[in-house]
Every structure is written in C-alpha cells, then in structure tokens.
Amino acid sequence: MSIPVIDLFAGPGGLGEGFSRVKKLTFKTVVSIEKDVMAHETLRLRAAHRHLQQNPTTTRETWETWDQLIEKSPWDMLFRNLSSSKDSNILEACQCANAEALRLELGPERREEVSKEIRNRLEKISNDQRLPRNIVLIGGPPCQAYSVVGRSRNKGEKAYVANEDIRHFLYLEYLHVITEFQPAVFVMENVKGILSSKVDDERIFEKILRDLRRPGIPDGATGDLEYVLLPLVGPRGEEEIAKPHKFILRAEDFGIPQARHRVIILGVRKDVYLAAEAKVGTLVPSDPPSVSDVIGDLPQLRPQVSKRGGGMHWLDALNSPLCDYVVRVLKNDVEPQMREVGKLMEKLRTDLSERKSDPGAGKERIRIPERKRKPVKALADWYGDRKSEILPNHESRSHMPSDIVRYLFVSSFGKVTGESPRLADFPGMLLPEHKNVDRFNVAQSIFKDRFRVQLGGKFSMTITSHIAKDGHAFIHYKPKQCRSLTVREAARLQTFPDSYVFLGNRTAQYTQVGNAVPPLLANKVADIVADLLKAAGYK
C-alpha cells in the first residue's frame, strides 16, 4: 500500500522527487499543484518519467523512444510529442502525469476548485467512502514576501503595503488543505526571512505556528484537530521547540553540496505522534561533497559571446587590450599572490589560444555515449537514477567580452588563493560599470562580492533564482572555462538527477532550479516521515 502525497506550490517538483525515491515506504504523489506555466511543464514531464520508472512493464525500447523524443523535441512541443507516442507505456505515463500535475493558482477564490480536485484523486485510491488517514502534505508557499532581499526591494515601492501583500497569506491555502484533509504528516518549507517578517507589527512566523498547531476555519475557531510541530534537528526539548530558529535547516550540514538555509516545519497529527510513541527521528549530520566532486565530470564548455561583443570570438576577449592590461598590472603587483594570479591568467590564455580543439558551448540536449562519460565522484547513484545517454540543460550562456575577462580573473584568483575575490581585489580597469560600484571608494560599494567563483574544493553558495538574471555570482571553478554555471551544473548542486529535464527558456530553467527544494534533502526528510508512519502502524 502506498502513502498518498499532496504537493502544493510544487514548483518543478524538488520536494516530491525526494519523497518518490524513499525505499523504506512507498510515497505516491496523487496531485501536485503549481501556477507557473513553465515550472508546471517541468513538473508534468517529471511525473510522466516517474510513472515510467515505477511501471514494471517499461522496456529498454520504451526508454530509447523516450530519450529520442527528449533529445529532438523543442521544449514547448515535448510533452505533446510524448503524448502522441505509439508506445503504450509512454502514452499511459503521460495520461497519469496530466491527471497528477495541475496548473492552478492557489488563493481564496480557488479553494473550492482545489479541494474538489484533491478530493477526487483521494477518493479514487480509498478502499471505502472515507478519505485515507495516512495522507502526507508537502510544499512551501511562495517566499518573495518573506525573503530579506524581497522585503528590502518592497520598501522602495511607495505603494507597497505589507499587510495587503497576498503572498504573506498564501500559507492560509496550505492551512485550509490541512483543515479539510487532515494529513497524518505535513512538511512546510520556506526561506529563513519568514522568521523576521512582520505584518501589523506581529511576526508572521509566530502566527503561522499557532495556526498550524490548531488548524481551523479562517475566523480563528478551532476544533479537535491538533498537530505537533517539530524541527528536523535536535535536541527537541519543549524549550528548544519553542524557539523559531530551531526550525532552520542548514543543508550543507546534511550532505548537500550547497549552503542553503531554509525553515522546514514537520507537522505530525497528534494521534499519529502518540501512536509512534512520540519518537520522531532527526536528520543525521554528514559532510557535503565539494563542487568539483559534484560537477567535475560534466563536459567542459566554453562561454558564448553576447550580442554586445559584435560578433567577437570568445578567445578574442582573452587577447583584448583589456585582458593585456589586467595581466600586466597583476604581474607587477606588490602582493605575491596577485602576481601569481597574473601569471596564471597569462598561461591560461596562451594555452587556450594554442588549443587545437574547441570544447563547444554545449546545448539543451547532449547525447554522450556511456563509454565517453566520466564517473561522478560523489552521489553517483543519486544523479544516475537511470541509464541514459542524454544530458539535458548543459549549455553555456552568453557573456559580454569584458565579463569573460572578469571570469578568467575571478576563477584564477580562486585557484591561487582558495578564496573568491571582492571588488577591492579587482584591478581598476576590471571593475564593472555599475551604479553600485564607486571606483573611488570600492571598499564601501554595495555587493562587494558581486562576482564570485564557486570554489572546486568547497560546497557552493546558495543557488538562488537570481542566477536567472546573470551568472556573476556563480562562476565555474575551472579558469579555462571562463563562464558561469549551466542549468545542469546548478541542478547538480541542487541535487537534481541528470534525468530531470527542465523545460522553458533558459531564464525559466534557472529560476526553477533556484527556487526548488534540493531533492536529496527532501529525500532525507522523507525518510524521517517514513520511519514515523511505520512506527505509527502505517505500511
């Protein structure tokens, strides 16, 4: 028997992916809801992929057909082409995915419709007229209104009023689903900024916790329904649980190759909590793999040059007067390390200019024969959830010629010093033309680390949706590549398996990856939920 999962505000499906890959108990997503058009396309495609994986009649030929369509279909035609496949397994998987992944915007005016859709799917899997009592609810309301950066941006808007921002109250849609369907367990995720966000001078997180403990109708009345809210890290004494910061989970402390700090609430219906003898596990700390361990096996790429380059070849940027000047200045710097950076830049551009073969810029779908693939140094089984020659979403983005020089400097600096440079470390000619960069007082500039290399020997910084705007903060650790991370590399750091195809234009793909919950982290949370439900008698 499988445990039904409801996924709200699903995005591209990071939380659901983690739950789907639990081995000790079978979690089955019965409905996932997302409003964004392109994230929904990704969510639906992954649902079809998951149905194929779970179907014992899926053959090698079926997967070959699937991969051929993935490789050759434009993103906006891909699901349509799959749905019209002559392979019966693919056709069935697409039908199931259409029923599972819904594109709906959650809000007060859609509650009845959302409830109806959820109820219809739960009734189909229930053995009697009653809804199942073993439901798991997962998801995280949109975080822009809670994030520190978002609040800072909103303050600059004259017409912005916090208590009128509907995003502050979308958690109520989550609450209504809890109230109506009474899940055995729920997992709610959000940004760390939710702890300090206020509406009408009240911290919104404190109100959310009160509402989740005793969910009821909107006017605040409550019934007998009660939840125990638990952080996923210990200890869990009564005094500890009462502290909001205890709900912060640092992903890098639990084997995720990225510094990602999020608030995650584990809610357990009180009867389930008592049936499990009040014993609920916590996450076990583990060291994270490094950036090089996670993305070092991926095909090397060169950068593309933006239209501002006027048709310039990328190597021309490294042999430009700007790069000549920077190398000369660095080689004559008073600091020995800076001289080493200059020497490395000079050697690298010489090596690149003399290289006989062009690594290429990659593309949306790369076919790599098994024999030509390099082994992944970390989490190989996780990333390789099935054998496929298709590597999706691995194409370099376009950069201005001056940025290519900056990326060469930043990555070379990282290789020599083991750190990412700040703007104060930049040669003057290499400082960006930006309103927030004061050339005469660089140390006081906003965003002092605007350009950052993700160091190969460490875990990465947080992959955020800002990566969709530019790649300055996500520069590849190998100086010879002179570029920012691809969607696939960002997805690896977010622990999405290589078979996970992100749809939409590249900006949308980066946004989906940046907003998602790391599937491996979700999987570790799901393991705790599985142990809890088994202890409570669910199988």
Residues 115 and 183 in one domain: yes
What pLDDT score does 429 carry? 87
Please choose, from the candidates 481, 474, 487, 506, the residue with its C-alpha nearest in 3D space to the C-alpha of residue 358: 481
The boundaries of the domain holding residue 152 are 3-40+101-288
| Cβ atoms of 16 and 489 closer than 8 Å | no
Burial label, 114 (beta-carbon count in 10 A; 0-12, 13-18, 19+): buried
Instruction: Give the lowest-confidence range in 31-35, 53-57, 353-357, 405-409.
Output: 353-357
pLDDT at 150 over 50: no
- Specify the DSSP element, H or E, that contains 185: strand 185-191
What's the CA gap between 286 and 360, in Å, rounded? 37
Q: Summarize pLDDT for 339-397 with one digit per residue, the tens.
A: 999 999 999 999 999 988 889 999 999 999 989 999 999 999 999 999 999 999 999 99
Q: Summarize pLDDT for 68-78 with one digit per residue, the tens.
A: 999 999 999 99
Residues 29 and 169 in one domain: yes
pLDDT at 148 over 60: no
Whether 447 is in a domain gets the answer: yes
Which of 157-162's residues contact partners 24+ apart within 8 Å by CB, and which partners?
162/198, 162/199
Whether 54 is in a domain gets the answer: no
Residues 14 and 162 in one domain: yes
Q: Summarize pLDDT for 225-277 with one digit per residue, the tens.
A: 999 999 999 877 766 666 788 899 999 999 999 999 999 999 999 999 999 99
What pLDDT score does 515 carry? 94
Q: Summarize pLDDT for 465-507 with one digit per residue, the tens.
A: 999 998 999 999 999 999 999 999 999 999 999 999 999 999 9
Residues 391 and 253 in one domain: no
Tell me the CATH number at 247: 3.40.50.150
Predicted confidence band of residue 154 (pLDDT cuts 50, 70, 90): very low
Residues 33 and 116 in one domain: yes
Residue 438 amino acid letter: D
What pLDDT score does 464 carry? 92
**Residue 9: φ, ψ to 5°:** 50, 55
Residue 341 amino acid letter: V
Whether 52 is in a domain gets the answer: no
Burial label, 109 (beta-carbon count in 10 A; 0-12, 13-18, 19+): exposed
Residues 209 and 274 in one domain: yes
What's the CA gap between 519 and 10, in Å, rounded? 12
Query: What percent of the chain has a predicted confidence (pLDDT) above 70?
Result: 90
Residues present in the chain in total: 539
Residues 312 and 255 in one domain: no
Residues 160 and 117 in one domain: yes
The number of distinct structural domains making up the chain is 2
Q: How many alpha carbons fall within 13 Å on the CB side of residue 6?
A: 30
Whether 493 is in a domain gets the answer: yes
pLDDT at 151 over 70: no
CB atoms within 10 A of CB 143: 22
What pLDDT score does 238 carry? 66
Whether 329 is in a domain gets the answer: yes
Predicted confidence band of residue 446 (pLDDT cuts 50, 70, 90): low
Please choose, from the candidates 185, 210, 192, the residue with its C-alpha nearest in 3D space to the C-alpha of residue 266: 185
Q: Which of 271, 288, 305 is the last residue of a domain?
A: 288
Q: Which of 288, 318, 341 is the last residue of a domain?
A: 288
What pLDDT score does 165 carry? 44
Whether 260 is in a domain gets the answer: yes
Residues 336 and 463 in one domain: yes
Tokens at 279, concatenated: 């014993």
Residues 240 and 358 in one domain: no
Tokens 């009867």 locate to 271
Instruction: Give the lowest-confidence range in 35-49, 179-193, 203-217, 350-364.
Output: 203-217
Predicted confidence band of residue 153 (pLDDT cuts 50, 70, 90): very low
Q: How many alpha carbons fall within 13 Å on the CB side of residue 416?
A: 20
Query: What percent of the chain has a predicted confidence (pLDDT) above 90?
Result: 76
What's the CA gap between 187 and 269, in Å, rounded? 12
Residues 377 and 299 in one domain: yes
Whether 61 is in a domain gets the answer: no
Q: Which of 236, 271, 288 is the last residue of a domain?
A: 288
Q: How far apart are the first and last CA of the chain?
A: 6
User: Helix axis angle, 321-331 relative to 336-354, nearest 10°?
Assistant: 140
What pLDDT score does 443 carry? 60
- The alpha-helical segments, DSSP class H, found in 36-170 are 37-54, 60-72, 75-83, 88-100, 111-125, 148-155
What's the CA gap between 75 and 77, in Å, rounded? 5
Residues 343 and 434 in one domain: yes
Average pLDDT, the chain: 90
- pTM of the predicted model, to two decimals? 0.93
What pLDDT score does 160 carry? 35
Whether 79 is in a domain gets the answer: no
pLDDT at 162 over 50: no
What pLDDT score does 168 carry? 59
Predicted confidence band of residue 217 (pLDDT cuts 50, 70, 90): low
